[in-house]
């Protein structure tokens, strides 16, 4: 009998902070920068109030991953991000997307002032040899901010399947929302290996019961770290490298005069699994 090599998939999740930067020195986040778009500088970093789509796309493209789960993404970024990473993609619009063309135009003029007012989306990108075979979207919370789960079924040329459920859960009492979303994702996966990940807004050290219930009810495990909110929980996959956040420097790009621009207020989290 011919033995095929195991299928290994590396998954990353990253909250893009609506395409904005977040310097380590909070004194750089000034009102004059927010209102007048003045660049603030320290000895090592700068805070820029300008569009950073190209920088995010380039940084994401350099990271090693097969599947990427992205949250707080400006809705118009799907094609540029996927193109830079040579990936296919899918998107689920979340909140504040009424009059999205006008909102996007205002955000290009002043990203920090408009901030999340531009509107948002959850996105999933998949690099070859994985391809997207099916997509679904489900609202996990209608208010105060609409939260939506993006579900994607991926297929590999040999026939292996992987289901990804990308969420950005509410900041207030997300436990019930997480359990309901996980129940739907498990049912939708229909027995295929499942990654249930994204920004859960749940920390294992503060909400241990939530993670215990996700495991007991839905077979999901693999929390990132005790104080983390970005997770890649899995069911039916063999962990090869457990979920771990990148160092903050991994999301930095060159600015002016040798200074660094730190993208987002979240570091990417990555994990590697074997699909059987």
- Render pLDDT for 205-248 as a digit per residue (tens, 0 to 9): 999 999 999 999 999 999 999 999 999 999 999 999 999 999 99
**Interatomic CA distance for residues 67 and 9, integer angstroms:** 8
Instruction: To the nearest 10°, report the CA torsion of 163, 140, 15, 57.
Output: 60
Pick the CATH number of 7-275 from 3.40.50.300, 3.60.10.10, 2.60.40.10, 1.10.287.110: 3.60.10.10
Q: pLDDT of 48-64, one tens digit each?
A: 999 999 999 999 999 99
Read off the tokens for 65: 């991953």
Work out the pLDDT band at 1, boundaries 50, 70, 90.
Answer: very low
Q: pLDDT of 96-133, one tens digit each?
A: 665 566 666 666 777 777 666 667 899 999 999 999 99
Let me know: does 73 contact 120? Beta carbons within 8 Å.
yes
**Interatomic CA distance for residues 192 and 152, integer angstroms:** 12
Let me know: does 95 contact 119? Beta carbons within 8 Å.
yes
DSSP run (H or E) holding 166 = strand 161-168
Q: pLDDT of 130-169, one tens digit each?
A: 999 999 999 999 988 899 999 999 999 999 999 999 999 9
Let me know: does 233 contact 220? Beta carbons within 8 Å.
yes
- As to burial, measured by CB atoms within 10 angstroms (0-12 exposed, 13-18 middle, 19+ buried), residue 166 is buried
| Residue 119: predicted pLDDT | 73
pTM, to two decimals: 0.94
Instruction: To the nearest 10°, report the CA torsion of 84, 149, 71, 267.
Output: -110
159 Cβ contact partners less than 8 Å away, ≥ 6 residues apart = none
- As to burial, measured by CB atoms within 10 angstroms (0-12 exposed, 13-18 middle, 19+ buried), residue 246 is middle
To the nearest whole number, what is the mean pLDDT of the chain? 93
| Residue 100: predicted pLDDT | 65
């Amino acid at each position: 009998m011919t033995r095929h090599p195991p299928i290994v998939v590396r998954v990353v999740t990253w909250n893009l902070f609506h395409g904005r930067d977040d310097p380590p020195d909070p004194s750089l986040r000034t009102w004059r920068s927010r209102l007048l778009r003045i660049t603030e500088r320290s000895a090592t970093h700068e805070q820029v109030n300008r569009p950073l789509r190209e920088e995010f796309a380039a940084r994401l493209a350099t990271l090693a991953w097969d599947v990427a789960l992205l949250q707080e993404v400006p809705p118009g970024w799907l094609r540029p991000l996927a193109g830079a990473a040579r990936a296919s993609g899918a998107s689920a619009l979340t909140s504040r997307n009424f009059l999205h063309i006008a909102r996007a135009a205002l955000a290009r003029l002043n990203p920090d002032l408009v901030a999340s007012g531009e509107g948002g989306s959850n996105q999933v990108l998949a690099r070859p040899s994985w391809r997207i075979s099916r997509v679904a979207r489900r609202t996990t919370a209608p208010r105060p901010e609409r939260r939506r789960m993006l579900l994607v079924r991926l297929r590999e040329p040999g026939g292996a399947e992987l289901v990804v459920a990308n969420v950005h859960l509410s900041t207030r009492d997300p436990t019930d929302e997480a359990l309901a979303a996980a129940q739907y994702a498990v049912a939708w996966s229909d027995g295929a290996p499942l990654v249930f990940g994204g920004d859960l807004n749940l920390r294992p050290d503060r909400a241990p019961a939530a993670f215990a219930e996700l495991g007991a009810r839905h077979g999901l495990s693999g929390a990132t770290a005790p104080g983390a909110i970005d997770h890649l929980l899995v069911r039916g996959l063999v962990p090869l490298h457990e979920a771990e956040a990148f160092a903050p420097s991994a999301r930095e790009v060159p600015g002016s005069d040798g200074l660094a621009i730190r993208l987002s207020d979240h570091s990417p989290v990555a994990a590697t699994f074997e699909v059987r």
